[in-house]
Amino acid sequence: MRIINLGLPKTGTKSLKFALKTLGFIEGEKDDFPETPNRFYSFDWVHHVDHKELIKKYPDSVFLLTYRDPEKWYRSECKWSLLPHHLRIPWLLDQRTRLYGYPMPQGHKAEYIKRYEQYYRSTIDYFYLINKMIYLFEWREGDHKENWRQLCDVFKKPIPNIDFPHENKQKF
């Protein structure tokens, strides 16, 4: 089974990666995306790939869409964008400009959140239009049981008796 997460950065993509590993799934690598079957792909850059083409080419894939409360997502995006090494990566600034209209989120909250919500609406609408299932995974910080339930329901797996992984923790 090929599993592809179409979620945007700072929506729990890395936490999802560790959770899928815990459930026994094998992580795919960027250099084999998405050619190798029986792998999962949960990278912050997957949204750059045209999901319409992915659906056509890999119709048997399971598509996930990590989502986070827009206000919490925006705060995380603001803090993450100011990490010193992120300020020196041209492709990262270009990525934010393509996604949200500006290279940095500070001072552009309304536009960032508007485009964030548009991405999710248009992705879900497209899957609905073609009658293809996409599983929305709403990352709930600190709600380990609900996070596991959402994920385990999709794959018909028992809920592990451990906390749901929370990677890239930030304090505000």
Packing angle, helices 109-129 and 90-100, rounded to 10: 70
Residue 66, domain member (yes or no): yes
Domain that holds residue 146: 3-155
Contact partners, residue 134, CB within 8 Å, separation at least 6:
6, 63, 64, 65, 123, 124, 127
**Residue 46 in this model has a pLDDT that exceeds 80:** no
CA–CA separation, 45 and 4 (whole Å): 11
**Residue 134 in this model has a pLDDT that exceeds 90:** yes
Residue 142, domain member (yes or no): yes
Reported as a pLDDT band with limits 50, 70 and 90, residue 30 is: confident
Over residues 137-150, mean pLDDT: 90
Residue 164, domain member (yes or no): no
**Residue 172 in this model has a pLDDT that exceeds 50:** no
Residue 79, domain member (yes or no): yes
**Unique residue bearing structure tokens 């592809």:** 4
Residue 84, domain member (yes or no): yes
Contact partners, residue 147, CB within 8 Å, separation at least 6:
15, 19, 137, 139, 140, 164
Of residues 42 and 65, more confidently modeled: 65
pLDDT confidence of residue 153: 96
Residue 63, domain member (yes or no): yes
Q: How many domains does the chain have?
A: 1
Over residues 101-120, mean pLDDT: 95
Over residues 128-146, mean pLDDT: 91
pLDDT confidence of residue 65: 93
**Residue 96 in this model has a pLDDT that exceeds 50:** yes
Over residues 29-52, mean pLDDT: 76
Residue 147, domain member (yes or no): yes
**Unique residue bearing structure tokens 């599983």:** 135
User: Which CATH number does the domain housing residue 77 bear?
Assistant: 3.40.50
Residue 34, domain member (yes or no): yes
Among 33-47, 72-86, 90-104, 157-171, where is mean pLDDT lowest? Answer: 33-47
Strand intervals (E) in 48-170: 62-67, 134-138
Over residues 154-158, mean pLDDT: 96
Query: Six-digit token pair at 133?
Result: 């299932």
pLDDT confidence of residue 87: 80
CA–CA separation, 148 and 8 (whole Å): 20
Rg, the chain, Cα only: 16
